[in-house]
Copies of this chain bind each other. A is one copy, B any other.
Amino acid sequence: MKTHNCKDCPFKSPAARNLTIEELEVLEQHSALVNFKKGEVIFKEEALSLNVAYLRTGIVKVHKKGPTGEKILRIMKAPTYLGIPTSMGDKINQFSATALVDTSVCFIDTVLFRNFIFQNGKFAYEIIVELCRNELNDYERFTSQSQKQVHGIVAETLLCMSEKIFESSQFNFPLTRSELGDLAGTSRESVSRVLTELSTEKIIQFNTKEISILDKERLRQISEKG
């Protein structure tokens, strides 16, 4: 039984679009397509990293144990590679990935992935571009989080979710308040308070999971002034 077909995959990564037919055939033989339900762990920190994970569809949180609890490093949306740093930089996973919605992931043999880098420059180039973009994003958020205060960070996080992840001003928020705190670097209670405050000021509207942004401009102002 054929589980997947890489050649005609409608969710090919920009990198994989540069692979030849032959390379795609090899990829097909050395990769596995796995579906995850909301809440399931895709790969786990401290486990041996055997594959590169490619997020084909869905949304995941990338997270890591910290001194006082879980830190959510980033929310990622398909299509994207998830575990390149953890596969190329170290033998064991330095972070975990967990599905926030139903998700499909391709696990690609690390040796094969490495061979593609060696033999296909365009493939390698796209991987590098993706890594670089991620790094720039991280720097941006890192800077914000260490200088802004809660209002600013929560506003920024909401904007980011709206623009980058859901591409809509209204969305079903896949994180609990506590997780949003872990992402924004603050506490569950503080998030809650900021959210109600934004709501009373008619900047957002929400009922538990459903959030809609009413006044994007003011939200951006709050995000920018910190």
Contact = CB atoms under 8 A, between A and B. Distances in A.
Interface of A: 64-69, 71, 73, 84-90, 94-95, 114, 117-122, 124-125, 127-129, 131-136, 138-140, 142-148, 152, 185, 224-226
A99 to B, nearest CB: 20
A133 B90 CA distance: 8
Q: Which of A65, A124, A125, A142 has the most CB of B within 10 A?
A: A142
Nearest to A183: B146
A85 B131 CA distance: 8
Given A121-B119, A226-B68, A73 B131 contact: no
Contact of A125 (B66, B86, B89, B114): B114
Contacts of A71: 142-143, 146-147
Given A73-B142, A225-B67, A88 B128 contact: yes
A64 B121 contact: no
Given A67-B226, A117-B125, A132-B84, A94 B140 contact: yes
A224 B65 CA distance: 12
A69 B146 CA distance: 11
Interface of A is mostly: helix
A144 B67 contact: yes
B125 A64 contact: no
20 contacts: A67-B147, A69-B147, A71-B147, A73-B139, A73-B142, A85-B131, A85-B139, A86-B132, A86-B136, A88-B128, A88-B129, A89-B132, A90-B136, A94-B139, A117-B124, A124-B125, A127-B128, A145-B146, A146-B146, A146-B185
B121 A131 contact: no
Contact of A118 (B90, B122, B145): B122
